[in-house]
Amino acid sequence: MPARFSLTDEQRRAAASRAEHVFIIAAPGAGKTTIAAERYGVTRFADRDPGRRTIGVSFARSATQEFRIRVQQRWGTRAVGWPHDIKTLDSLHCELVRHLLVTGTLRWPGGHTELKVLDIWRGQRGARYLQPNQGWRRVATLHGRDVTSVGTHITRPGYGIGTKQHFETHLANGLCTHEEIRAVLQAALSRDDLRQVLADYLRNTTRSLIVDEVFDANDLDVDLILLAGKSGLRTTLIGDPWQALYEFRGAQPDLVPQLVKSQGYLSLPVTESFRFATHEMRHIAIELRAGRGVAVEDGSAGEVDVVLAPEWGMLWQSDARVLPLSFGRVDNQTEAGIILLLDQVVTERFDRRAIFAPEAMALLGLEPETVQAEGSSQFRQVLETISHGTPEAMASALNQLRSALKELGSPRQLRTLPGSGEEKQRARLHSLAQRLNQARCIPGMTIHQAKGKEWPTVGVRVQPTQADRIRTGLTESSANDRALYVALTRASESVRFV
Ligand SMILES: Nc1ncnc2c1ncn2[C@@H]1O[C@H](COP(=O)(O)OP(=O)(O)OP(=O)(O)O)[C@@H](O)[C@H]1O
């Protein structure tokens, strides 16, 4: 199937290079995902090596889905049929650990070889939101060939399990999170015998590995790519160091140049960008990348297609025409219920889902099919109540919402929240009520959610200190500056502070 447009010479050279290890570095809109999809097909159909696959990986689920869609549009659905695949790095980790378990190389508690892998522990028995210096948490480790657990100091805030008994019971039930998978894989890679088993597996199953957004890789990912290269896989790394955003997952953009150097990658820069249709945007993109400051004009929410901010809270505090796609992390069942309420509103307004809606349903123990079939009329009544806008209306809407969730089948005890918890939820409902009266709303999302996407006009909402950084110049080594760079380069026509 022909491409919808002709690739440039730079893009074609990058996609079709015969070098075993290729490193493609490209600016926003220069076609990284386009090239990744092209190269996927080139290696997938060129290597007549039945049984050995071409595998494409990326980090976020949304980016992986985009990669898959582009491949299917370009090469047809067969291109990703077995044994070939496009998946997240996290699912490749799971596949490798599964191999170690089914071959008996490692033993999981209870003898499990098929695991249920959660994103986070939240909602599971014994799970708490743990803050640094709050004591110990359990992590998975290897003792000989057995997966077991050990206590460690809490260094990063997040959901975890502090007690040995709860943690090991989950493991013995075949339940874990991606963090346990990463810990086991990391421990396996640090042992020569187990590393060899993984190298053999990669060599026997895979011919070509294509990594999109490689600057989001953490040390484990980089080690795996290194192992893949050493095991004879053709490896392609594609990315932009200015767009590394996954610090929370341990991204270490500095490791990529070391990897590229140590394995003799052929570097192929792709410079021409297709995103920027105006002089204003071309100027902004070039100046920011050169570390120079730019003047971004002020505008109003009414004149942009989307509003981006570093945090969800900043979006809710902005113009009432901005309807954010989430409230952020869901900490309790009432918050989960409010996300489902928001989900109904954003689905109607924008034909897209609220961020964290699936997690909210899981936390409430609700079946997505039931919520879809029966939730709408229940949530409509709650929305009708909050539209009155009074504090009393918000309080009674919360009770109404809790009853609705019970009726939809939530097995959870939906209680009134202690302390200022209830007030916080009323404030959320009030913010949502303000949006319901608007004739037109503009979607709002965090910069992380906007990565890899583009709109004609983009509104950016930042703190005064961040606006100063944009005026004086950004640096690639600062995670905060990189996020600002990603936000400002999402627009094809214009960007405004809102
Ligand atoms: N050779 C080309 N001719 C015309 N349009 C192109 C070409 N290559 C890519 N594009 C278009 O440019 C846009 C950006 O491409 P793509 O999303 O692949 O870039 P990207 O580098 O992954 O962007 P980002 O860095 O923002 O994630 C897309 O709309 C794509 O269809």
- Interval 216-231: pLDDT, tens: 999 999 999 999 999 9
pLDDT of residue 47: 66
Q: Does 277-321+439-497 carry CATH code 3.30.200.20?
A: no
**Contact by Cβ (8 Å): 69, 156:** no
Is 261 assigned a ligand-binding role in the annotation?
A: no
pLDDT reading at 56 higher than 50? yes
Strands (E), 249-289: 266-270
What does the DSSP 8-state code read for residue 215?
A: G
What is the C-alpha to C-alpha distance for residues 481 and 173, in angstroms, rounded to an integer?
43
* CA of residue 29 to ligand 1 center, whole Å: 5
Please tell me the number of Cα atoms within 13 Å of 402 on its side-chain side: 16
* CA of residue 40 to ligand 1 center, whole Å: 16
Closest C-alpha to ligand 1, atom 23: 29
Q: Which of 275, 458, 482, 493, when mutated, tests ligand 1's pocket best, judged by the most ligand atoms within 8 Å of its CB?
A: 275
Residues 6 or more apart in contact with residue 234 via CB below 8 angstroms: 20, 21, 43, 207, 208, 209
Architecture of the domain made up of 9-91+190-270: 3-Layer(aba) Sandwich (3.40)
- Interval 180-226: pLDDT, tens: 999 999 999 999 999 999 999 999 999 999 999 999 999 999 999 99
The residue among 89, 392, 353 whose CA lies nearest residue 212 is: 89
Give the start-to-end residue ranges of the domains of the chain.
Answer: 9-91+190-270, 103-187, 277-321+439-497, 330-437
Q: Which of 33, 281, 284, 308, when mutated, tests ligand 1's pocket best, judged by the most ligand atoms within 8 Å of its CB?
A: 33
List b or e across 170-196, with b for residues whose CB sees 16 or more CB atoms inside 10 angstroms: bbeebbbbbbbbbbbbbbbbeeeebbe
**β-strands 21-26, 266-270: how paired?**
parallel
pLDDT reading at 472 higher than 70? yes
**Contact by Cβ (8 Å): 24, 8:** no
> Quick one: which atom of ligand 1 is closest to the CA of 34?
18
pLDDT reading at 416 higher than 90? no
Question: Which range, of 19-23, 128-132, 256-260, 380-384, averages the lowest pLDDT?
Answer: 128-132
What is the C-alpha to C-alpha distance for residues 431 and 444, in angstroms, rounded to an integer?
13
Q: What is the ipTM of this complex?
A: 0.96
pLDDT reading at 2 higher than 60? no
Residue keyed to tokens 């760079």: 485
Q: What is the mean pLDDT of residues 82-102?
A: 96
* CA of residue 201 to ligand 1 center, whole Å: 34
What is the C-alpha to C-alpha distance for residues 162 and 138, in angstroms, rounded to an integer?
6
- Interval 332-358: pLDDT, tens: 889 999 999 999 999 999 999 999 998
Q: What is the mean pLDDT of residues 35-58?
A: 89
Residue keyed to tokens 């990897």: 259
Average pLDDT, the chain: 93
Pocket of ligand 1 (CB under 6 A): 5, 7-8, 11, 26, 28-34, 240, 243, 274-275, 452
Percent with pLDDT over 90 in the chain: 78
> Quick one: which atom of ligand 1 is closest to the CA of 7?
1
**Contact by Cβ (8 Å): 218, 174:** no
Residue 248 — very low, low, confident or very high, per pLDDT cuts 50/70/90? confident
Give how far Cα 321 sits from Cα of 305, 315, 325, 436, 444, Å: 11, 10, 13, 9, 9
Q: What is the mean pLDDT of residues 31-41?
A: 95
* CA of residue 456 to ligand 1 center, whole Å: 14
pLDDT of residue 30: 94
pLDDT of residue 122: 80
* CA of residue 272 to ligand 1 center, whole Å: 10
Is 27 assigned a ligand-binding role in the annotation?
A: yes
